[in-house]
Structure 1
């Protein structure tokens, strides 16, 4: 049954604008054969994460877009998307929490670890007392590790499974961002902490007729001698004695903050590579959530991993 939306219909004399065209395929330079030839493959025999998910939120002058898309390597292998993200806002604490997790590819069940860790961290950080306790984030990530272990033991049917046993089947990186007092005038304090190789970037809003000048790496932003960056990474569940420390910075008005897994960040080349510039230009203003997902799944030779990003546009100055 269709319910009429009284009061939301456009006036009869209002011009009808064409729908925004989806930018897929969104290609940066040479997309490579894999991008052009690999298709979806067969459905899974059991419940698995969707190939792509996206969200869009707009409130109090803020705009947020989030998306996670299965990478070409997972499509080719017939395996699940292993990235996950979570977004929370609570009026009681006036706090915005952003989480991105990247399941470690060697674990066949790492998509479960990413989902558990992202949900746990988001729910824990939305209303906890951040305070000045230097061990706070170590404890929060240790609790997230414990949550991953509990879920792994349930899946494995082994209540005695140790961390080594868990990490053999599931593990995930995690980066958490907390933006405080979001309904108050800026600048806004941003607190973040991470385990693994996801990255955090900022850039200045720019008009469509202005050239995008590049991104500033806050966390990560690896560079190597090749065209793309890569490295081995630490992950959840952590060892008992693994410390996690947070960092802080101020986010000004008319800024763009991007939190992303290495499927996106490794192509940024310090913030000024072709992918970084192309995405920054495409995000001169917040796109639709579906368009943002198409941007995040850009075609670029040799980039085959899952892609996940959360972009946050701060209010005008």
Structure 2
């Protein structure tokens, strides 16, 4: 297993010595930050399936701005959970390979409404390091499917893993765009695993040709890729992942997960790309868009909050119950929760979104 560096303590975390960088090994971790105790109903079940979101939280006092900061920020109604302290001023990184701290999108893609947002985690902002989450979206060239991709570079390589995540997401997007509806109807699991293998090999070739001083583990990232039939298509959606990214569906504020929650220490991952034997580390799941309001593809920072926090589940269900624009999507990730330090990235698709006017008003 490979250890991710950001601290979290909702699960007991053993101290492990540094070993190799191959899947199935571990790395030393940063100091832990204590979490509030987890309530018994604070997770989705380990098996894929439907679970109701938590009851709506009791009304709270209007949020107040952080005290003692010398800059202004827009207000938000995003919830604050647990015993929180004031945040220090965020530190930006001077690493030339850093990724943007905030990114958001919202709009029509192939007649399907999608929204996406990515925010740098407080663990990076406190230390002045780069966030390492990347998302991509595209449609297949034959018009049969929508492709949603998230990648998360491993924090133990703060100067280079985000390069790997960005490269992998781009190469996977290109490879997945050639998928046909006929292929997905016949052998979806094999098709998506082949896409992962193609993207992984492309990153390796790029490293050898351009980044010769780096190793595969310097570019290591986890990934989730989801294919959904576009409006007018038929059949279920399909997803693959390597590592701890995840895919959820939301239906009438009830969540279901495509992949079970990982047990054991939260910041250990069992696989990443690039890797030579992709079928060994890849997991496959069917994702049925029929009858669901939204399909959500996330990196582990947000997936863990969905599993562990009823108030976060309810907040995001309320924000994502209808298609939202880029600003609303970004604001949805502005909640604060004790122990939630990692980058947050989500791609949300509304398969049954109504038609929208295309002419200017």
TM over 0.5: yes
Query: Partner of 1:79 in structure 2?
Result: 129
The CA deviation at 1:62 is: 3.0
Does the Cα contact within 8 Å between 2:231 and 2:351 map onto a contact in 1? no
The CA deviation at 1:45 is: 5.2
Query: Partner of 1:139 in structure 2?
Result: 194
Does the Cα contact within 8 Å between 1:198 and 1:265 map onto a contact in 2? yes
Query: Partner of 2:350 in structure 1?
Result: 313
Query: Partner of 2:207 in structure 1?
Result: 152
User: Once the two structures are superposed, what CA deviation does each residue of 1:165-195 show, in whole Å capped at 9, x if it has no partner?
Assistant: 320x220001110112x1306x652011110
Mapped to 2, the partners of 1:125 and 1:91 lie a distance apart of: 9
Does residue 283 of the first structure (1) align with residue 320 of the second (2)? yes
The CA deviation at 1:216 is: 1.1
Mapped to 2, the partners of 1:140 and 1:107 lie a distance apart of: 25
- Shift in CA distance, 31/257, structure 1 to aligned 2, threshold 3 Å: farther
- Shift in CA distance, 137/95, structure 1 to aligned 2, threshold 3 Å: closer
- Shift in CA distance, 72/267, structure 1 to aligned 2, threshold 3 Å: same
Identify the match of residue 170 of structure 2 among 113, 119, 132.
119
- Shift in CA distance, 41/26, structure 1 to aligned 2, threshold 3 Å: same
Identify the match of residue 110 of structure 1 among 146, 161, 179.
161
The CA deviation at 1:230 is: 4.8
- Shift in CA distance, 138/178, structure 1 to aligned 2, threshold 3 Å: closer
The CA deviation at 1:57 is: 1.6
Does the Cα contact within 8 Å between 1:23 and 1:294 map onto a contact in 2? no
Unaligned runs of 5+ in 2: 1-72, 355-361
Aligned positions, number: 276
Query: Partner of 1:263 in structure 2?
Result: 301
Mapped to 1, the partners of 2:140 and 2:194 lie a distance apart of: 22
Identify the match of residue 299 of structure 1 among 336, 353, 361.
336
Query: Partner of 2:40 in structure 1?
Result: none
SS of the aligned residue for 1:124 comes to helix
Unaligned runs of 5+ in 1: 1-20, 206-211
The CA deviation at 1:278 is: 1.4
Moved over 6 A (4+): none
Mapped to 2, the partners of 1:156 and 1:62 lie a distance apart of: 37
Mapped to 2, the partners of 1:126 and 1:316 lie a distance apart of: 22
- The Cα RMSD (Å) is 2.8
Does the Cα contact within 8 Å between 2:293 and 2:321 map onto a contact in 1? no
